[in-house]
Amino acid sequence: IAAGDLPGIVIDDVDARRVGDWKHSQHTKPYIGDGYLHDLDQGKGEKTLTFVPKLPTDGVYEIRLAYTPGENRAANVPVTVFSADGEKTITVNMQKPPAIEGRFVSLGEFRCELAGQNFVLVANQGTSGHVIADAVQYLPRNAAGQSVAKEESAPTNDQQQAAADLKRLERELTELKAAVPPRPRVMSVVERPEIRDLEIHLRGSVHTLGDVVPRGFLQVVPPAAAAPLATHQSGRKELADWLASPVNPLPARVFVNRAWYWLVGQGLVRSVDNFGSTGESPSHPELLDHLATQFIDSGWSVKSLVRSIVLSRTYRQSTEAGAMGMKHDPENRLLWRAHRRRLDAECLRDALLCVSGELDRYPGGTRIRPATVADYDYVDTGFSRSVYVPVFRNALPELFEAFDFPDPSLVVGQRNRSTVAPQALLLLNHPFVRERAAAAARRWLARLPQDDEERLAEAFREALGRPPQDAERELARQTIQEALAESSSLERAWTELAHLLFASLDFRYCD
């Protein structure tokens, strides 16, 4: 109900003077106006609400307080009335429903003078539970033309039963909401309530501020039609529109070059992180222009861009090197063959789990254990895809660290690909790799318990994507026989073979 539809002088919660943090809510009905305020059951003794009426004349007024009751409300709320009679504090039990119209409780009758102080102070000092304040009503006594509401009679049995049913349904609703899985959350950007220009951070320090710099576009080389910035907005939308404008080809060219790098192994501009004048020139400038234009025309569709690249002859080439090509273009800048690429750290981990049959393919969700408060010494023990593995700056998985996982504190477009001894040592000795080899061996033995030759072919197909060559088949047989001679355990022998395949170059490289 609107405050203006009630008799007398009604001061809604939106007009109250607040001290402390009060939260607006519409959870419990009925309420007056657009909701009510509560103290969050926090900051006891630090919060007050002051309701000041605009009285038309001197006189005696009945003063009422409106609130919404509930089991979590405070039963000892101090409400102080200031009037010509002085100062009087009334304790209100907000767990009980208000007796008047189901909205108001009477604080009493008080003499008010326009020349004096007239207000109601609701505080949370000494309370236990939520303190609620919806509105304060001043009703003049015996004033002509004013309707004074009377207290309702005691609720009937039907009303009591309806109230009990309502409480039960609200409790069930609360339980159902609590049982719903949490919705996925992402970090995003929102506008601040107050938009302002920022100071220069001298030498990058947030503690040393220089002159205020107004928001706007570059002054030296301004765009042809720079959009004016609204005073009540940050300018992020205008910046995004400018970056994605069809007349601005640079973002599309940079993105297309990175997509080419991700799929082919080298960018058309090889300095992927440096697209400026100090970077390299494109090896195929017309192709870069074509892909960028096509990307913009498709509405910046990444799917369409990827489809164009992977269906090309360039993407489908072999890595096999010919003598003529190696003589004239040993760095493969003209793309006469495919680049031989080592698997990224994430792909290597996923490949180990995939061959072992342990990869958790369930998409989405967080993999951070509950109650995790620090990243130091954090160890992820799950088998989900690596894209869902928690990335903590101080606790990267050892496999990630060995195989050139980028610094999570930086934006890295082109990863470093090193070949160092710790990589080989990790594949040979790390428990994670050894356990995946054992799981793969158990899987192969369970699927093909009798046929060693078929099992051997299956192991090569799953681990390397091809059948074994004759020399490899003979070496694999020898490895299994030597392992059986040492332990006579079939699982141990095939674990050795799986481990041998995981440590091979062909497992780590794409041909």
Residues 456 and 367 in one domain: yes
pLDDT of residue 224: 63
Residue 156 included in any domain: no
The CATH number linked to 32 is: 2.60.120.260
Residue 335 included in any domain: no
CA distance 256 to 273: 13
* 184-220 residue pLDDT tens: 777 888 888 888 888 999 988 888 999 998 887 777 7
Residue 432 included in any domain: yes
pTM score, whole prediction? 0.60
Task: Give the distance from CA 413 to its chain's centroid.
Answer: 22
Residues 468 and 362 in one domain: yes
pLDDT of residue 4: 84
Residue 463 included in any domain: yes
Residue 347 included in any domain: yes
CA distance 61 to 384: 69
Q: How confident is the model at residue 375 (pLDDT cuts 50, 70, 90)?
A: confident
Residues 308 and 413 in one domain: no
Burial class (CB within 10 angstroms; exposed 0-12, middle 13-18, buried 19+) of 488: exposed
- Please report which helix (H) or strand (E) contains residue 111, including its range: strand 104-112
Q: How confident is the model at residue 262 (pLDDT cuts 50, 70, 90)?
A: very high
Residues 233 and 316 in one domain: no
Q: How confident is the model at residue 38 (pLDDT cuts 50, 70, 90)?
A: very high
CA distance 396 to 65: 58
pLDDT of residue 152: 47
Residue 180 included in any domain: no
CB-CB contact of 222 with 241 (8 Å): no
pLDDT of residue 160: 80
**C-alpha gyration radius of the chain:** 37
Residues 34 and 84 in one domain: yes
* Residue that the structure tokens 């049913």 belong to: 165
Residues 374 and 479 in one domain: yes
pLDDT of residue 223: 63
Q: How confident is the model at residue 227 (pLDDT cuts 50, 70, 90)?
A: low
CA distance 424 to 80: 77
pLDDT of residue 155: 67
CA distance 153 to 148: 15
Q: How confident is the model at residue 225 (pLDDT cuts 50, 70, 90)?
A: low
Query: How would DSSP label each residue in 243-261?
Result: HT-TT--HHHHHHHHHHHH
Q: What is the chain's length?
A: 511
What domain count does the chain have?
4
Residues 490 and 381 in one domain: yes
Residue 131: CB partners within 8 Å, gap ≥ 6? 38, 39, 41, 47, 73, 74, 77, 94, 122, 123, 124
Residue 190 included in any domain: no
* 96-155 residue pLDDT tens: 999 998 899 999 999 999 888 899 999 999 999 999 999 999 999 864 434 444 444 566
Residue 186 included in any domain: no
* 400-424 residue pLDDT tens: 999 999 998 888 888 988 999 999 9
Average pLDDT taken over every residue of the chain: 89
* 340-374 residue pLDDT tens: 889 999 999 999 999 999 999 988 777 888 778 78
* Residue that the structure tokens 């059986």 belong to: 484
Residues 314 and 370 in one domain: no
486 φ, ψ to 5°? Answer: -80, -40
Q: Is the per-residue pLDDT at 11 higher than 60?
A: yes
Q: What percent of the chain has pLDDT over 90?
A: 60
Q: Is the per-residue pLDDT at 5 higher than 70?
A: yes
Residue 189: CB partners within 8 Å, gap ≥ 6? 236
Residues 223 and 321 in one domain: no
Residues 311 and 348 in one domain: no
pLDDT of residue 147: 42
- Domain boundary residue, one of 276, 294, 328: 328
- Domain boundary residue, one of 305, 328, 351: 328
Residues 435 and 361 in one domain: yes
Of 432, 376, 374, 438, which Cα lies nearest the Cα of 400? 432
* Token pair in block for residue 171: 């409790």
- Domain boundary residue, one of 239, 270, 300: 239
Q: What percent of the chain has pLDDT over 70?
A: 96
Residues 314 and 434 in one domain: no
CB-CB contact of 18 with 51 (8 Å): no
pLDDT of residue 371: 78
pLDDT of residue 49: 95
Q: Is 302 helix (H, G, I), strand (E, B) or coil?
A: helix
What residues make up the domain containing 37?
3-148
* 473-487 residue pLDDT tens: 999 999 999 999 988
